[in-house]
Amino acid sequence: MNPARLQVSGLVKRFGGLLATDHLDIAIEPGEIHAVIGPNGAGKTTLIHQLGGELRPDEGRIQLDGQDIVALPPWRRALAGLGRSYQITSVFPDFTVLQNVMLAVQAHAGHSFRFWKPALAERELTEPAQAALRQTGLADRAQVPVAALAHGERRQLEIAMTLATGPRLLLLDEPMAGMSHAESERVVEMLRALKGRYTVLLVEHDMDAVFALADRITVLVYGRAIACGTPEEIRGHDAVRAAYLGTQEESV
């Protein structure tokens, strides 16, 4: 499947008197890794929820390859090619790594297991699941119970479950959250290997990962984009430096 283009135009989300998303415009090109950064309360999670369909914006459009998806529920967006990972992993710890990914394939396709045929023998489930494990570096962990995985491997598994559904656009919400430095490096290498094959919107606090991966970066402050550019442009942007004056870069 070809990577998708995402166009966000005039997006507004209010919670009472709080303007959480302030007439936001973002254009993400096919195959691009586009990072969204900003301090706590900047509106990053609210944006992800609107893109994923958990929140309905008050104004604006969200277009996937020219199709306005604002009115679509999350499951319809998934069928349209939007895949999402979450800050907190959601897996079945007593199942193996492969079984978890197969369940993601089954759920996405609406495929029913045949009670007279072992699920592990169904190629339409196992083949995309195994391909996703190869893409995320977990092929040699396929038969390991999820309960035995390290935290970083669980995050990789969640991304594998997302990839197994055949998305064209990935929404990655802090995929490096809670990882050690070594685990983060492995995930960075994994995402770098996916570059160009998927369009990726990455929300991440790990600035080393952001600057290593992103083609472009949008900086949010109070729900408004104050800058958008390449990593080099963002590093040297006066407004970005002013917004974070007196803060640690890691908290951006």
pLDDT (tens digit per residue) in 151-188? 999 999 999 999 998 999 999 999 998 899 999 999 99
CATH numbers and ranges of domains, the chain? 1-81+167-252 (3.40.50.300), 90-166 (no CATH)
**pTM, two decimal places:** 0.88
Asked if residue 100 lies in contact with residue 92, where contact means CB atoms within 8 angstroms, the answer is: yes
d(CA 217, CA 30): 15
Identify which has the larger pLDDT, 201 or 86. Answer: 201
Query: Bridge partners of 37?
Result: 219
Averaged pLDDT for residues 60-79: 95
Asked if residue 38 lies in contact with residue 252, where contact means CB atoms within 8 angstroms, the answer is: yes
Least confident span in 11-15, 39-43, 133-137, 226-230: 39-43
Nearest to 206 by CA among 152, 147, 128: 152
d(CA 166, CA 229): 29
Q: What would the two tokens of residue 244 be?
A: 């974070």
CA 200 to chain centre: 7
Percent of the chain with pLDDT over 70: 90
pLDDT (tens digit per residue) in 215-237? 999 999 999 999 999 999 998 88
